[in-house]
Amino acid sequence: MTSDRIEARLARVTERLARAAQRVGRSPDEVEILAVTKGHSKDAIEAVAEAGLGAIGENRIPEAEAKRAELGDTPDLAWHFIGRLQRNKARRALRLFDVIESVDSVRLAEALSRIVTEDELPPMEVLVQLNPGGEDAKAGFGAEEAVRAVDAICRLPGLKVTGLMAMAPFTTEESVLRSVFREARELLDRCKEEVPAFEGRVLSMGMSNDFEIAVEEGSTRVRLGTLILGER
């Protein structure tokens, strides 16, 4: 897709996002857009940067590595990892990405922390991934474990825990989506209250099919693939 097409799509998304924010008295500036480029070529990443977005999301290490090799440095783009990260790929992830949004276990966080320290890398920004619907198949921490996990991960050297990430279940039912996003927002507040070291300024939630509900419920970052770049 050309950057003109992307700009036109982005204009519509920005408008919808602004209306969702206004419905609940939020400023649209509180919500950033992460362009999810997984499944698209490196041209999509270039087009996204040209359209003026500052961050992209990828969910597979080999795919991101291949694109990175083709593109070289992209100083105007922050690369966010949003997929399931195996511990044996942690080192590669630390080299490729500026933010790891999908820290879904304390063991993974420990592995990342150890490598940052050993390799003397700059601190890595991470989000702790929730499993707010409590779905068995989904990665992340349930409501009862989240506070303890955030506390444990905040104590690890070499990681900067800026917030939480959540994914809604696959459903179009608005009431379900809304309650999942609300629960994530409440967990963010609880973590901020109970873990003084937790910054908690980022709440990454909302995808192409549910981002307006996520914004109404307090998202500060929506992760949009299909809406901006078309079908994969």
Ligand X SMILES: *Cc1c(COP(=O)(O)O)cnc(C)c1O
Reference 11, options 41, 51, 38, 45; nearest CA is 51
Query: Which of 38, 67 has the CB closer to ligand X?
Result: 38
Q: Is 46 helix (H, G, I), strand (E, B) or coil?
A: helix
The distance of closest approach from Cβ of residue 36 to ligand X in the complex, given in angstroms and rounded to an integer, is 4
* Residue of the chain from 121, 147, 152, 207 that contacts ligand X (CB under 6 A): 207
Positions in 34-93 near ligand X (CB under 6 A):
36, 38, 59, 82
Distance CA 76, CA 92 (A): 21
Nearer to ligand X, 31 or 195 (CB): 31
Of 72-80, 107-115, 173-181, 224-232: span binding ligand X (CB under 6 A): 224-232
**Number of neighbours of residue 19 by Cβ within 10 angstroms:** 12
Burial 22-54 (b: 16+ CB within 10 A, else e): eeeebeeeebbbbbbbbebebebbbbbbebebe
User: Does 168 sit near ligand X (CB under 6 A)?
Assistant: no
Span from 40-48, 180-188, 190-198, 219-227 in contact with ligand X (CB under 6 A): 219-227
Span of 1-9, 88-96, 133-141, 202-210 interacting with ligand X by CB under 6 A: 202-210
3-state secondary structure of 58: strand
81: which 2 tokens?
Answer: 């990892």
Structure tokens at 160: 């900067």
Tell me the residue nearest to ligand X as measured from the CB: 225
| Contact between 166 and 180 (Cβ < 8 Å) | yes
Residue count at the site for ligand X (CB under 6 A)? 13
Stretch of residues binding ligand X (CB under 6 A), selected from 25-33, 48-56, 67-75, 218-226: 218-226
**Interface with ligand X (CB under 6 A):** 36, 38, 59, 82, 167, 207-209, 223-227
